[in-house]
Structure 1
Amino acid sequence: MMRRLLPFAALALLIAPAAAAQQQRGPMTEPGAIERLKPGQFFWAPQIAPAGPVTMIVSLKTQRAYVYRNGVPIGVTTISSGKPGHTTPTGVFTILQKKVDHKSNLYNNAPMPYMQRLTWDGIALHAGALPGYPASHGCVRLPMAFAKLLYGVTSLGLTVVITNESLVPEVAPAASPVPSAPSDGHSNNAAFSWTPEVSPTGPVSIIVSGRDRRIVVLRNGKQIGSAPVMLDVPVANTEAFTLRAVDADGAHWMRLPLPDGSGKDGGELTADERTKGHVPDEFRQKLEGILAPGATMLVTRETLATSGTGSKLAVLVTDSK
């Protein structure tokens, strides 16, 4: 179900036909408009949120990608991800490299216009053919016009989340559980690592794993911290958040509706929800010291080693080639 993303329905967006570069205006006024997008079509409305940090979420299940700026959806597009044998990895990535006119180093110099690299072993966002089903060698193909527009609003270090509905069922409590966020502390003696010097600057991404009971902090795509996390309730669904602001009341995390329909609708993570997860006091203080608007947090029930489908869940991408 895609109807959890109805914030788009009230917006006047731009729609691009599959076989033409010309764009025509069309308000999203009815449910199901996103689902009815044909291969190569997209919506784009950057004027809805003119400034702020950008985050992208890709749904392999629905073959759609969503772009948020300052926590507000500004675009959605059809995609074509990896075909069987060349599946697109799920997880949290950062844009490592950008190039307008790029040729594949692995597949006979195949053109990859408006390439935005997610891994050094060949996974990237780029313009390409969209037949209406997964057909790439692992990359996420985008419509040419959308790839160009997206390229214009992104920067190195931007967070890209790639999701796929888990095929492994997990027992959850009868009551609807809430996501866990690293806000409250527990024993100061709990072991954790904190090495901010590994990556002194750049966008911050936080991943909380329900199965591992662990939190990992990345800055500019490199791990700078890790700690155990105590959860009052199991994590039932993957949820993503972007940090809107930090003030006297604490951190204001905005929930990003996921394209696969999992999790909750948008809105701010409540104080009650923040108290459901606990990390070491010293670790929490260090983490709060580097948080700034635009930080991204992904709360997942999956392990950080592998996803529920057996695919690699990419969390760390640090080596360059």
Structure 2
Amino acid sequence: MVSSLLEVPAAMAYGEYRWQDVLHSSPGGSGAVMVRVDLDRQIISVFRGGEEIGTAVILHGVDEYPTPRGSFPVIAMMRDHVSATYDSAPMPFTLRLTDDGVSIHGSDVQAGLGTHGCIGIPSEFAKRLFAVIHVGDVVHIV
């Protein structure tokens, strides 16, 4: 069972996020972290101990480079990663999900932009997510 602590009174715009990581049931926050990415709704939700602590509007893969769906454990974390493939693009707070490079990372989330299969999230949100997630935590992409 999951619940939400977040007050999101209206649809968020590109680049917006909400984060509230102090849980009512556990002061200071504890428990397993789970991430759910909804590609159709272009939103990421972060849960800890079954309670939603963060949500943001995302970017995802364009038609030529789709973001894969499925459940992926975080296999590596890189705070200051830059792309070796895409013009040394900065990818702060990278959470690697697949061996071929699909990751969640900080990005300039704007309408009309897409990725080469990664999930781009606002950089400040990425920093907060990076602080609470661990290698092995699972990301569900639907």
* Residue 89 of structure 1, CA deviation: 0.4
Residue number in structure 1 paired with 2:22: 47
* Residue 29 of structure 1, CA deviation: 7.0
- Secondary structure of the residue aligned to 2:140 is strand
Give the one of 3, 14, 37 matched to 1:58: 37
- For structure 2, which runs of at least 5 residues remain unmatched after alignment? none
Contact 2:8 2:18 in 1 (8 A): no
Per-residue CA deviations over 1:130-171 (Å, capped at 9, x if unaligned) read: 1235601110001010000000001000100000xxxxxxxx
Separation in 2, partners of 1:112, 1:90: 21
Does residue 156 (structure 1) correspond to residue 116 (structure 2)? The answer is: no
Contact 2:60 2:117 in 1 (8 A): yes
Does residue 98 (structure 1) correspond to residue 77 (structure 2)? The answer is: yes
Report percent identity of matched pairs: 34
Contact 1:63 1:133 in 2 (8 A): no
Separation in 1, partners of 2:136, 2:12: 29
Distance 1:114 1:55, change over 3 A: same
Per-residue CA deviations over 1:256-298 (Å, capped at 9, x if unaligned) read: xxxxxxxxxxxxxxxxxxxxxxxxxxxxxxxxxxxxxxxxxxx
Q: Quick check: which has more Rg, 1 or 2?
A: 1
Deviating above 3 A after TM superposition, structure 1's stretches of 4 or more consecutive aligned residues are none
Does residue 109 (structure 1) correspond to residue 88 (structure 2)? The answer is: yes
Letter aligned with residue 56 of structure 1: V
Separation in 2, partners of 1:90, 1:119: 11
Separation in 1, partners of 2:59, 2:81: 18
Distance 1:55 1:85, change over 3 A: same
TM-score normalized with structure 1 length: 0.41
Per-residue CA deviations over 1:192-241 (Å, capped at 9, x if unaligned) read: xxxxxxxxxxxxxxxxxxxxxxxxxxxxxxxxxxxxxxxxxxxxxxxxxx
- Higher percent of residues as strand: 2
- Higher percent of residues as helix: 1
Separation in 2, partners of 1:86, 1:67: 24
Does residue 126 (structure 1) correspond to residue 105 (structure 2)? The answer is: yes
- For structure 1, which runs of at least 5 residues remain unmatched after alignment? 14-27, 164-321
Separation in 1, partners of 2:21, 2:85: 34
Separation in 2, partners of 1:89, 1:68: 21
* Residue 105 of structure 1, CA deviation: 2.0
- Secondary structure of the residue aligned to 1:141 is strand
Letter aligned with residue 111 of structure 2: G
Separation in 1, partners of 2:42, 2:125: 15
Per-residue CA deviations over 1:5-27 (Å, capped at 9, x if unaligned) read: 9x54xx4x5xxxxxxxxxxxxxx
Separation in 1, partners of 2:92, 2:72: 20
RMSD: 1.7
Residue number in structure 2 paired with 1:37: 12
TM-score normalized with structure 2 length: 0.90
Separation in 2, partners of 1:63, 1:150: 17
Contact 1:82 1:134 in 2 (8 A): no
Separation in 1, partners of 2:76, 2:8: 37
Residue number in structure 2 paired with 1:236: none
Compare relative contact order (CA 8 Å, sep 6+) and give the higher one, 1 or 2.
2
Per-residue CA deviations over 1:3-56 (Å, capped at 9, x if unaligned) read: xx9x54xx4x5xxxxxxxxxxxxxx274xx2xx101011110110251000000
